[in-house]
Amino acid sequence: MKDNTLLLHLFYTLLLFLGASSSSVENGSNNDPNNQNEVYIVYMGAADSSNSSLRNDHAHLLNLVLRRNEKALVRNYKHGFSGFAARLSKEEATSIAQKPGVVSVFPDPILKLYTTRSWEFLKYQSHVKIDNKPNTVSNSSSTSDVVVGILDTGIWPESASFSDEGMGPIPSRWKGTCMKAQDFNSSNCNRKLVGARYYSDPNEEDESTPRDSFGHGTHVASTAVGAAVENASFYGLGEGTAEGGSPDSRLAVYKVCSSFGCRGSAILAAFDDAISDGVDILSLSLGASPGFAPDLTTDPIAIGAFHAVERGIVVVCAAGNAGPSPNTVVNDAPWILTVAASTIDREFQSSVVLGSTKTLMGKGINFSPLSNSPRYPLIYAESAKADTADLADARQCHSDSLDANRIKGKIVVCNGNKDEAYTTADKVEIVKGAGGIGLVHITDDEGTIASNYVDFPTSLISSKDGAIVIQYINSTSNPVATVLPTVTVLEYKPAPMVPYFSSRGPSMLSSNILKPDIAAPGVNILAAWIGNSAEGAPKGRKPSPYKLESGTSMATPHVSGLASTVKTQNPTWSASAIKSAIMTTAIQNDNLKAPITTDSESVATPYDYGAGEITTSEPLQPGLVYETSTIDYLNFLCYVGLNITSVKVISRTVPDNFSCPKDSSSDLISNINYPSIAVNFTGKGIVNVSRTVTNVGEEDETIYSSIVNAPSGIKVTLTPDKLQFTKSTKKLSYQVIFSSTLISLKEDLFGSITWSNSKYTVRSPFVLTK
C-alpha cells in the first residue's frame, strides 16, 4: 500500500514515535458514547500535604465531580502533584478552570511512540582520559540501588535481559508494586524488574496488563538497564553481548501506551506513581509532534517532569523523529534532558554483484535466498514500463507502472526520488507482486536506517553506484546480477552522524534555551523484543528475542542508562548536576577526528545534537557542574508569562519571599543556570549573561582556564577568565559578554565556552539567534 509520508512509513516499520493528536469535543475522538462528555485533565499544581488550602481545593472539586457521577472520575493525582482526570462537559471544564487552585484544564491528549555495539562504540569515543575512572559496566555480582522508570508499552519479563542473577535485595526504600493481570503476576517481577504498573485506557478495549504486546517498551528498557546476554543477534546480524548502559540498576515499568496511543492522563498517573514509588531516573521515548506541541501548563510530560525533577528525579525524553526540518524538537522544557539520535560505527550491508564481477556495497537487511553467483536476469525498471504508464513512474517503480511479463523472474532496478511518496518497502511490494525476485533501489534519500526486507533480496545503493549498474545493463544484451544476504560491518566511518529523522532545534518553546540537549545512539540498535512476534522473521524461523530498531526512542534509554550510572557513582548529586555532567563532557568529533556531520554530509550544529554525543566515562567525573535550581525553573515560568499566583500553585518549594521579576521577559531565560547558552541577539549589539559552576572534582584547590570558540564577527569576553576554587569556595560565577558591530544576524551563530584544568574539560555550547 502506498504511504503518503516517510514519517508514516517509519512509524509502522520501526515503531518510531511520531506526532500526536489532541482530543476535541467537536471531533468526538475522546467522547463517552453514553453522555458525550470528554475526558479532561484538571491540573492543580503541587501536592503539598502541608498546604491545607491546596488540599481542600482538590478535595472540594473532586467531591463535586463524584457527586455528579462516580463513574466520571478517570484518575486521581495526589502523590507527586495534585489534580484529576474526569469526564466533563465543555461547560463543566470551563467552570472548573475558574476555581481556586486550578492551574489548567485541558482535553486528555493522545501522544505517540516515537545493545551489542552501541555501548562499546561509545566507550572509545572520548576526548579526555581520566586515570582510575570507574567502569561504566560493573561485574555481574554488583548491584545498584538506582531505579530507572520506563514509561512506554510495557515489558516482556521473560527476556534474559531482565534476569536478576547476582543482584542483591530490592532496596527497602522502594514502594512500587507489581500489578497482576491474566498474563502477568508478581513472580514476573524480581530483583531487576522491581515494579510493573499499567493504566487502562478509559475509552478503549485494551489489554489491562503490564505485558508488552508491541516490543517498543521492552526494547528501550533493555537498552537502558538490560543484563548482559551473550550471543545476542537478530538472526545472526549484530551478534555480540547485548547489555544495557547500567546493567546493575533496577527497572520499574509503567505501561502508559496501548494500541490507541499514549494518553496524557495515563502519563500523568505514571509520573504521580513513579514519584511516590521512589524512582531515580525516568525515561520517556514518546511525545507530541511539533505541530501539536502544547504549552507548559497543558503538556502532560512537561507537567509530570517538573514535579519529578523538583524531587531530584532525572527525566530523560526523546526529542522526536520529525527531522531534518528545523523547529521540530519536542519535550523541550528546560527541566527535561532532551535526546537526539546519532549513528554508531556499525553498518548492515547488502551487496549487489553484477555479471561483470563488479560488487557494489548497498545497505538494508535481507535474508536473500539467491545464489552468491550473479546469474539472475537484471532489468532497469524503465525497460519494463507498462503501455499506459508514465516513463518517470515506471523508472521509479510506482504502482501500475510496470509490465509484469517483463519483470517476472528478474531483479529490478528502480530509481528513487527525493520528493516521491513511495518508500523502498512500497517498491518491494510492487516488484514482488509483479513477479520480480529482487530489488536494487537507487536512492540517496533514505538516510542511515537499515530497514528489514526479510526474505526478499533488496539492496539500497547510492546514485553514484546506480550509474554503474545502469551503465552495465546498457553495455550487454544479457545483464545478470545477484543480491547478497546482509552482513554486519564494524568500525564503519564516519560515525557518529546525525540521522535525517532526528528532530532539530531551535525550540519552539523558547529560542533562549538550546534544544536538543544531547545526542546518543539511535540507529539500528539491537535490544530485547517480545517473545511472541514473528514480524520480520525469515521464513520458517522462530521469533527473535532481539531486534534492530531506530529512532530517538532508542537514543533516549542510552542517556537514561548513562544517567543511572552517574547517579550510582554520585548518589548525592541533584538531577541538574547529572544532566550537566552528561552535557558538558560530550564530544563533537567523529571516529575520523573530524566534526560530526549529518547523514546528508553537512557539518552538524547544536540544533542537531545539542552539546554533542554522549561519552560514558567522563560524566562520572565532570570536574564542574551547572546546577539549575528550582528557583531557575520558577523564574523560567515567570519569563514565559505565568503570573506569581500560578507559579506558587505549581511548585511545592516556592519560597515565601519569591516573586516574579517586574520586568519579566523571554530574554531573561538566557540567564537561568543552564549547561548551554542561547541568546536572542538581534538588535542588541551587546548581551551579558551569567553562569555559576560547582566544583565536584577530586581537588578542592584548583584553577580552571577558559577557552572561547567564537563565530566570525562576534566577540565573547569572560569575566573572570580564570576560576580559582579553594576548600571553602566550591561555587564560582562568571559573566559572558557577547558583543558585535552587526545590527542583526543573517543566520543563527554557534560557538562554545570551555573551562579546563590538567584533568577535566567542561564545555558549554552557545547559540546566538537572529
Structural domains present in the chain: 23-108 (3.30.70.80), 118-126+137-344+499-620 (3.40.50.200), 346-490 (3.50.30.30), 676-770 (2.60.40.2310)
Contacts of 61 (CB under 8 A, 6+ apart): 42, 44, 84, 96, 99, 101, 102
| Amino acid letter, residue 392 | A
Task: Identify the pLDDT of residue 164.
Answer: 95
Q: Which amino acid is at 195?
A: G
Give the long-range contacts of residues 92-100, CB within 8 A, separation 24 or more: 92/37, 93/38, 93/40, 96/40, 96/42, 96/61, 99/57, 99/61, 100/57
**One of 118, 350, 507, 553 is an active-site residue; which one?**
553
According to DSSP, the residues that pair with 351 across neighbouring strands are 361
Report whether pLDDT(450) > 60.
yes
**From the candidates 9, 23, 58, 216, which is the catalytic residue?**
216
Q: How far apart are CA 263 and CA 22, in angstroms?
A: 10
Query: What's the pLDDT at 128?
Result: 46
Cα 615 to chain center, whole Å?
Answer: 17
Known catalytic membership, residue 553: yes
Question: Does the pLDDT at position 643 exceed 70?
Answer: yes
Q: Note whether 493 and 345 are within 8 A (CB).
A: yes
Burial (CB count within 10 angstroms: exposed 0-12, middle 13-18, buried 19+), residue 172: exposed
Of 636, 15, 563, 751, the C-alpha closest to 332 is 636
Specify the pTM: 0.91
State yes or no: pLDDT of 119 exceeds 70.
Answer: no
User: In whole angstroms, how far apart are CA 474 and each of 409, 419, 463, 468, 739?
Assistant: 19, 27, 16, 10, 61
pLDDT tens per residue across span 741-758: 776 788 999 999 999 998
What band does 295 get if pLDDT is binned at 50, 70 and 90? confident
CA 240/CA 117 separation, integer angstroms? 8
- Residue 216 catalytic? yes
Within 610-741, strands assigned E span 624-625, 677-680, 686-695, 702-709, 715-719, 722-725, 731-739
**Per-residue pLDDT tens over the stretch 124-140:** 676 544 443 444 433 33
Catalytic residue among 57, 108, 145, 152: 152
Q: Model confidence over 3-29: pLDDT tens digits? A: 333 333 333 333 333 333 333 222 333
C-alpha to C-alpha distance for 396 and 441, rounded to whole angstroms: 9
pLDDT at 136: 40
Taking Cα atoms as reference points, which of 312, 302, 301 lies closest to residue 279?
312
Average pLDDT over residues 577-586: 98
- pLDDT of residue 594 exceeding 80, the answer is yes
Q: Is the pLDDT of residue 585 over 80?
A: yes
DSSP letter (8 states) at residue 392: H
SS3 labels along 433-488: HCCCCEEEEECCCCCCCCCECCCCCEEEECHHHHHHHHHHHHHCCCCEEEECCCEE
Q: Which three cell numbers stand for residue 376?
A: 539472475
Active site residue 152: yes
Angle between the N-to-C axes of helices 300-310 and 264-277, in degrees from 0 to 180, rounded to the nearest 10: 10
